[in-house]
Amino acid sequence: MNSIATEQISTLKISIYRYDPDTGNKPFMQEMDIDIPSDKDIMVLDALHLAKEQDPSISFRRSCREGVCGSDGMNINGKNGLGCITPLSEVVKKNKLEIRPLPGLPVVKDLIVDMTQFVDQYKKIRPYLISDKEDNGKEIPQTVEDRDKLDGLYECILCGCCSTACPSFWWNPDKFLGPAALLQAYRFISDSRDTAREERLDQLEDAFSVFRCHGIMNCVSVCPKGLNPTKAINEIKKMLVKRAL
């Protein structure tokens, strides 16, 4: 039985992608009814916990439950998002909630995907400050204007919602860096303290790394932090074109 501390209860049909590597069976959608409070809006992650009370074998990642750790990225009624900050009122249609793993990545178990491809692409952009200035043990000063350039970039929590919503990443996960990695690439390219700007651009100058983005904006549409990877990618493209001219 579900246990929720409320008087007003309604029933939600929830359908969850299930896959158990130990059985070797094909993935299937498990349907169940869960009782949810009708007098308040709960999050998708809460609904998953209620489902897990009925079937403890349901597996999913979660940690902070407030949109900071980025571990509970999943496909909710067809759209990627973080379970912990997605209210049911935003996604439930006809009293039905379908939850699947992030698209395009190998499924480890149920809603847990193997993020290796995603992380490998992130590693490629060298997501750390590179400076050829002598390290005197002090911080590197930056003007307020230069610091402002990092807004809208540094906030990425690497949940993977954007890259796994991107068709270019689905078809070329090893060659196209994907929106998340490219947003971070631009974050370091635009950092006034970083001195490896040209090297970073050299690394991106091929047919796949950046130019596989066709600006369809799926990444912007799903980003739980409201960031705009398409814009960052276009800025990188413009820099590459300017360099070439």
Which residues here bind other proteins, judged by CB under 8 A? 17, 19, 21, 24, 26-27, 75, 77-79, 98, 100-108, 114, 165, 167, 170, 214-218, 220-221, 228, 230-231, 234-235, 237-238
Q: For the CB of residue 231, give the shortest distance to other proteins in the complex, in Å.
A: 4
Least distance to other proteins, CB of residue 220, Å:
5
- DSSP-derived letter for residue 67 is S
If the CB atoms of residues 64 and 220 are measured against other proteins, the closer one turns out to be 220
Comparing CB distances to other proteins, the nearer of 98 and 191 is 98
Query: Min. distance of Cβ 191 from other proteins in angstroms?
Result: 20
CB neighbour burial string for 53-80, b if at least 16 within 10 angstroms, e if fewer: eeeeebebbbeebebebbbbbbbbbeeb
Q: How far is the CB of 215 from other proteins (least distance, A)?
A: 5
- Identify the H or E element spanning 9: strand 9-18
**Nearer to other proteins by C-beta: 85 or 105?**
105
Q: How far apart are CA 167 and CA 82, in angstroms?
A: 19
Q: Give the neighbor-by-neighbor strand order of the sheet with 79-82.
A: 28-37, 9-18, 96-100, 73-76, 79-82
